């Protein structure tokens, strides 16, 4: 199955999702590239809640376009009333978050949550009331350890505790992003979701690759334009390998490999409304019936 050359999208260098500019205010780094009444350097901050919904406009009812996890660094350009206009440092995504979801914290994260989710306890005691639930990819600052009745805990900078084996050092990483995706099987599908509590197709790819120390852009069109290199899949898709990416317009799936000699994919699917595994050819036929066939294929360079 061959896709026409040039079917994959390209990335606009001034894409508003990746550049903070409005007619009245813009990131100072865009001076000379965009016109605005005022430019600002902004200030550094970090997400201070388990999950911050990033929206395209400062309104509770606005669609969530992305999510930022605890500890993620942001650039705060403006705070008006209950909303802050920010840009995520790791992937460059721009949007609005509730103002109390970010803070100008100077704490440097030391560890990352490496399981789908974990709990934060007020003390090193698993029977104590849970204080928060954190997603894979959340960043934490560890100040010590404690063992209670054979269970090892990390102590956080605010004296709360998490299970030690649920974290790893921030500089360590997983080896295979497909395996990370498989850890998230049955996670609910959520438009704009970027956490283990709910994720969409491109959010799954970004989170899994992030856990392997490979940062990629957020949305599927951005990923189709930038990840790895475009490949020729073969007329029967025989050239595809585990980890290759299959793109439809507005959707992305990951080649999992073969099961009983049949190629399968893993993806956050609006069909099952969850992260699911299904035969590749069946997915292509099902999606083509409603929409179209894949528009391209890419191989990540990890």
- pLDDT digits 0-9 by tens, 24-69: 999 999 999 999 999 999 999 999 999 999 999 999 999 999 999 9
What average pLDDT does the structure give for the chain? 96
Domain 177-299 architecture: Alpha-Beta Complex (3.90)
Fold of 26-103: SH3 type barrels. (2.30.30)
**Rg value, the chain, Cα:** 20
Model pLDDT, residue 264: 98
**Per-domain residue ranges of the chain:** 26-103, 111-169, 177-299
Query: 272: which 2 tokens?
Result: 């099952």
| Residue 106 vs residue 116, higher pLDDT | 116
Which token pair is 43? 């200030």
Nearest alpha-carbon partner for 167 in 206, 107, 106, 110 = 110
pLDDT score for 3? 52
Do 26-103 and 111-169 show the same overall fold?
yes
Q: Is the pLDDT reported for residue 246 higher than 70?
A: yes
Report the CATH number of the 111-169 domain: 2.30.30.40
To which H or E segment does residue 80 belong?
strand 73-80
149-205: per-residue pLDDT in tens? 999 999 999 999 999 999 999 999 999 999 999 999 999 999 999 999 999 999 999
Give the separation between CA 137 and CA 68, rounded to whole angstroms: 10
Reported as a single tens digit per residue, the pLDDT across 204-215 is 999 999 999 999
| Range 13-21 contact pairs with CB under 8 angstroms and sequence separation of 24 or more | 15/222, 16/94, 17/65, 17/93, 17/94, 17/95, 17/218, 17/219, 17/222, 18/92, 18/93, 18/94, 18/217, 18/222, 19/94, 20/75, 20/77, 20/85, 20/87, 20/94
Residues of the chain with pLDDT > 90, as a percent, come to 95
Predicted TM-score (pTM) of the model is: 0.95
Q: CA 240, CA 230: separation in Å to the nearest integer?
A: 11
pLDDT for the residue 36: 98
Span 118-134, average pLDDT:
98
Q: Would you state the pLDDT for residue 1?
A: 52
Please tell me the number of Cα atoms within 13 Å of 40 on its side-chain side. Answer: 20
């Amino acid at each position: 199955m061959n896709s026409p050359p040039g079917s994959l999208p390209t990335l606009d260098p001034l894409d508003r999702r990746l550049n903070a500019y409005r007619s009245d205010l813009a990131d100072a780094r865009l001076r000379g590239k965009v016109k605005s009444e005022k430019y600002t350097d902004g200030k550094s901050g970090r997400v201070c809640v388990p999950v911050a919904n990033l929206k395209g406009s400062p309104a509770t009812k606005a669609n969530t376009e992305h999510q930022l996890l605890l500890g993620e660094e942001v650039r705060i350009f403006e705070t008006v009333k209950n909303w802050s206009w920010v840009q995520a440092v790791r992937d460059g995504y721009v949007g609005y978050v509730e103002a109390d979801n970010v803070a100008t914290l100077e704490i440097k994260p030391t560890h990352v949550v490496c399981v789908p989710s974990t709990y934060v306890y007020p003390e090193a005691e698993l029977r104590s009331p849970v204080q928060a639930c954190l997603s894979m990819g959340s960043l934490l600052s560890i100040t010590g350890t404690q063992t209670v009745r054979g269970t090892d805990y990390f102590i956080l900078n605010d004296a709360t505790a998490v299970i030690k084996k649920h974290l790893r050092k921030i500089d360590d990483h997983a080896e295979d992003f497909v395996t990370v995706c498989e850890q998230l099987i049955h996670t609910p599908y959520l438009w704009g979701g970027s956490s283990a509590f709910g994720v969409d197709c491109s959010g799954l790819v970004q989170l899994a690759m992030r856990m392997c120390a490979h940062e990629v852009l957020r949305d599927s069109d951005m990923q189709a334009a930038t990840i790895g290199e475009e490949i020729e899949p073969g007329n029967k898709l025989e050239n595809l390998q585990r980890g290759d990416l299959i793109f439809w317009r507005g959707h992305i799936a990951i080649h999992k490999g073969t099961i009983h000699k049949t190629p399968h994919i893993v993806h956050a699917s609006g069909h099952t409304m969850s992260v699911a595994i299904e035969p590749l050819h069946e997915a292509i036929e099902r999606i083509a019936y409603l929409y179209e066939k894949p528009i391209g294929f890419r191989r990540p360079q990890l």
